[in-house]
Amino acid sequence: MAVAQQHKGNDSTKGLIAVFTGNGKGKTTAALGLAFRALGHNHRVSVIQFIKGSWKYGELEAARIFKPLLDFHVMGRGFTWKSDDLEKDKVAAREAWAFAVHTIRENRHELVILDELTYLSHYKIIEEEEILAVLRDKPPAMHIAITGRYASEALINLADLVTEMREIKHPYQSGVKAQRGMEF
């Protein structure tokens, strides 16, 4: 039976899983757009970032404006390819995953954003089946947005919405470094 047939009437009661993946920029930005939209409807939103670290991101500054509806958790140690200690990064990622599982099961938010979650299974930090099991068992009305490169076929099949960001052109290719307000 198709999903649309299973949920007759008001589809707002079916929580969706959205995945923003691919090598292009805009995955986190797309998820934060969903957060902004949900906040406009007075929905509670939790953003959990698995990789990002101590940079001063613009979204962190904006998040303060939306308290108490928006909970923003930066739980990584920074970009892993620049890591000074990969084992510490893995520990931080596992702790962030445990926090995410608790947040989902607690069911206090209409939208939970798991920013850069795909890296945890791709780099074998968390077994993919564990992630998929938590997603399958999420509260029925909760929306979850997942970002990151390397979304697996199993995650794509589980999701209700999948968008792949494809890099066509990027200012970095011309020597332009990341700019405040655009990349962070």
Q: Is-catalytic flag, 79?
A: yes
Q: Is-catalytic flag, 64?
A: no
Which residue in the list 20, 21, 27, 50 is annotated as catalytic?
A: 27
Which residue in the list 20, 21, 28, 90 is annotated as catalytic?
A: 28
Distances (CA, A) of 80 to 50, 104, 119: 10, 25, 10
> Which one, of 129, 135, 128, lies nearest residue 105 by Cα?
135
Q: Is-catalytic flag, 184?
A: no
Which residue in the list 8, 13, 20, 25 is annotated as catalytic?
A: 25
Q: Is-catalytic flag, 29?
A: yes
Q: Is-catalytic flag, 25?
A: yes
Which residue in the list 79, 95, 108, 129 is annotated as catalytic?
A: 79
Q: Is-catalytic flag, 81?
A: yes
HSE-CB for 106 with a 13 A CA cutoff: 13
Q: Is-catalytic flag, 118?
A: no
Query: What is the rounded (10 degree) CA torsion for 91, 95, 97, 100?
Result: -160
> Which tokens belong to 94?
């596992």
Which residue in the list 56, 81, 82, 124 is annotated as catalytic?
A: 81
| Active-site amino acid positions | 23, 25, 27-29, 37, 79, 81, 116
